[in-house]
Structure 1
Amino acid sequence: MNEITIILNEFLIQTKSSSALISGAKGKLITSLHLDYSDSVAAMSDAILSMSDKFLTDLAKGSLKQLYLKTTDGGVAVMNKINNSHSVIVFSSDGSNLGLFLRNIDELSTKLSGISLLK
């Protein structure tokens, strides 16, 4: 395992999340864990983040840092920017530990931003 995969795996275990991925510029998949169709998910996530960021910018509400999605069955997906070109998306089937999850994904992004491949 490389450094990025180790960090993501530790995060999944710590937060009891089910899967994660990191994408780069234009939705290019960097890595993923326990996720089917990772390339497609990375591309779709990039589109969602780009449109959401543009939406906030157009409304003069600042720039996007984190996007939270909740499913009807209680699952969550949180997308967090690592920097201007990379983001991490984490999925959990249980949103009951949401506070811990949101705080930890922000810390995860900060940790990942120090890795040379993601600068």
Structure 2
Amino acid sequence: MKATIWHNPRCSKSRAALDLLEAAPGVEVEVIEYLKSSPKRDEIAALLSKAGLAPREALRKGEAIIKEIGLDTGDDAAILDAMAQHPILIERAIVITDKGAVIARPPERALEVI
């Protein structure tokens, strides 16, 4: 099975989710450091749709950039635009497999899709 993780190596929860995936037998892990290679708006929208999440549910609400840009956290279209411009706003880690996608918070949620 292949699992893709949108990963931030500076985040302990993201590192823990990656560790769980790498320890799972038969799982080939692809790591995407989404802060280095920013996903496009349509990629983010498709991923959130696969996870069954509205953009506001995947928004890191504590990030200072929200206030700096005056983001309306109730406007999903604006949130997607902001996530594409400022990927730090995307909650982490996100794990994607053929079974679905989840935000791995807590990290053990990664196991739900493998």
TM-score of the pair, normalised by structure 1:
0.31
Larger relative contact order, structure 1 or 2 (CA cutoff 8 Å, min sep 6)? 2
TM-score by length of 2: 0.31
Going by fraction, where is strand more abundant, 1 or 2?
A: 1
